[in-house]
Amino acid sequence: MSRTVKIRELESALTKKGFKREEGGKHTKYFLVVDGKKTKIFTVLSRSQDQISKDLTKRIMKQLKFENNNLFEEFIECPMDYEKYIGYLKNRNQI
């Protein structure tokens, strides 16, 4: 990914794509919910940072099942809506 991702920007994209937030000690977990059921797709974000490092961005991309930077950017910038994301995951047999 060519730009730095802000935590709030990713949190907003996650909630718009059907992820539910669960507070923990130092971190916040986001689980994808489909048809009222929690899926195996999740990520964890720190509450002590404003931006996501490049290493962490790669890890989050993997957790969210993206195979390239362009798809992850579409997810964050919102051209990829909930239905497109669910379709993408289903096409890849992730849910």
CATH number of the domain within which 59 lies: 3.30.920.30
Domain coverage including residue 65? 5-91
- SS3 at position 90: helix
In the chain, what are the helix, strand and coil shares in percent, each to the nearest 5? 40, 30, 30
Under DSSP, the state recorded for 1 is -
Cβ atoms within 10 Å of 46's Cβ, excluding its own: 12
pLDDT digits (tens, 9 = 90+) for 37-95: 999 999 999 887 889 988 899 999 999 999 999 999 999 998 999 999 999 999 999 99
pTM of the model: 0.89
Under DSSP, the state recorded for 39 is E
Number of compact structural domains in the chain: 1
**Integer angstrom CA distances of residue 74 from 1, 27, 47, 69:** 11, 25, 24, 9
One-letter amino acid of 69:
N
